[in-house]
Amino acid sequence: MAKGLLGIEDLERAEIEAILARAKDFQPLQNRSNKRLDLLRGRMIVNLFFEASTRTRTSFEIAAKRLGADAVSITASGSSVAKGESLVDTLNTLAAMKPDAIVMRHAASGAPHFLSRHLPAPIVNAGDGTHEHPTQALLDALTILDHRQSLEGLRVAIIGDIVHSRVARSNIYLLSKFGAGIVLCGPASLLPPKMDRLAPGARITYDMREAIENADVIMMLRVQLERQNESPFPASEYYPFYGLQVEHLHLAKPDVLVMHPGPINRGREIASDVADSQRSVILNQVENGIAVRMAVLERIMN
Ligand code: NCD
């Protein structure tokens, strides 16, 4: 792997397979009473989050600690970014403290790529604007593979605010490398026709029922209001057309997996009884986030 982990697009299939295999080794650890390994003892990881996060930030921190590393988390609102310091100055300041890796989330697409050219420490992209969120796609793949033999030939429907979603983009790259069939679905204002260029063979539909028909996996996405200047659809129209409801599940395969990267908005893009149903693996995704991030941190630091 190149220095750090910036995206899925440039990863080889073999690298993805190696990370997923290592993450599988770490899965049982989560249920042990002593969850700590000493593989990265003495190393220091800085988590720098310029955007809101619950799952990603916490699980990177837990992953670092379970590997025996020290982890420091910094959020933009509690840092000198709030006093007007530039991104480069903030990162140079942190780099002077000699971290062994920097995990960062930023609203600007490409921010970690830019910084990785200037900093010695490897950078892990924890979400850059609307571009990529590589560890989310890896943990999603691990979660699917907990229930299916392989990704090849699976029918995966990705539904919602595709255009603003770094989760969708990273998943499209990963799933298409492994031969899954991808259907993208959402309102036209959130799903431009050119999106299918991201993946050879991805299909676009604006009809949710058509997207879900025969699906092995349904990935729901939150509407990213924070990335929109004007309303792309009348608010009351979204749920009836693009909200996942129990009756939709009958259209999919009987053992369909319902996924969502979180945070979920109940009653907005997903019904509560679907989010809490037997078909939902949303909390398994959260759990797998730790194993995947352990695998990524170990790999970039060794
Ligand atoms: C996603 C993100 O931040 O891109 N969340 C996450 O990391 N689990 C999706 C979202 O915010 O809707």
Q: Is 56 assigned a catalytic role?
A: yes
Q: Which residues on adjacent β-strands are paired with residue 46?
A: 72, 102
Q: What pTM value is reported for the model?
A: 0.96
Q: How far apart are CA 222 and CA 277, in angstroms?
A: 18
Three-state SS at 284: helix
158 CA to centre of ligand 1 in angstroms:
14
* CB of 135 closer than 6 angstroms to any ligand 1 atom: no
Taking the CA atoms of residue 101, residue 174, residue 177 and residue 217 in that order, the dihedral angle to the nearest 10 degrees is 150
Q: Is 133 assigned a catalytic role?
A: yes
* CB of 137 closer than 6 angstroms to any ligand 1 atom: no
* CB of 222 closer than 6 angstroms to any ligand 1 atom: yes
Q: How far apart are CA 206 and CA 67, in angstroms?
A: 44
Q: How far apart are CA 290 and CA 23, in angstroms?
A: 9
Nearest of 144, 137, 195 to residue 167 by alpha carbon? 137
pLDDT in tens, the chain (302 residues): 458 999 999 999 999 999 999 999 999 999 999 999 999 999 999 999 999 899 999 999 999 999 999 999 988 887 787 788 888 888 888 889 999 999 999 999 999 999 898 899 999 999 999 999 999 999 999 999 999 999 999 999 999 999 999 999 999 999 999 999 999 999 999 998 888 888 878 999 999 999 999 999 999 999 988 888 777 788 788 999 999 999 999 999 999 999 999 999 999 999 999 999 999 999 999 999 999 999 999 999 98
The continuous run of DSSP H or E covering 288 comes out as: helix 282-301
pLDDT for the residue numbered 261: 98
Q: Which residue out of 49, 54, 56 has the highest number of ligand 1 atoms within 8 Å of its CB and is therefore the one to mutate?
A: 56
217 CA to centre of ligand 1 in angstroms:
18
In 37-154, DSSP assigns E strands to 44-49, 70-75, 101-106, 123-128
Q: How far apart are CA 236 and CA 244, in angstroms?
A: 15
Q: Which residue out of 167, 224, 264 has the highest number of ligand 1 atoms within 8 Å of its CB and is therefore the one to mutate?
A: 167
167 CA to centre of ligand 1 in angstroms:
7
Backbone phi, then psi, for 235, in 5-degree steps? -50, -40
* CB of 116 closer than 6 angstroms to any ligand 1 atom: no
The continuous run of DSSP H or E covering 140 comes out as: helix 134-145
Q: How far apart are CA 83 and CA 61, in angstroms?
A: 25
Q: How far apart are CA 150 and CA 165, in angstroms?
A: 25
Taking the CA atoms of residue 248, residue 254, residue 260 and residue 265 in that order, the dihedral angle to the nearest 10 degrees is 40
Q: Tell me which of 43, 57, 66, 105 is the catalytic residue.
A: 105
pLDDT for the residue numbered 187: 95
pLDDT for the residue numbered 235: 79
Could you tell me how many residues make up the chain?
302
pLDDT for the residue numbered 80: 82
Nearest of 285, 277, 273 to residue 219 by alpha carbon? 285
Q: Tokens standing for 93?
A: 């300041």
162 CA to centre of ligand 1 in angstroms:
12
Task: Tell the residue nearest (CA) to atom 7 of ligand 1.
Answer: 56
Domains of the chain in start order, with CATH, are 13-132+287-301 (3.40.50.1370), 147-280 (3.40.50.1370)
Q: Which amino acid is at 256?
A: V
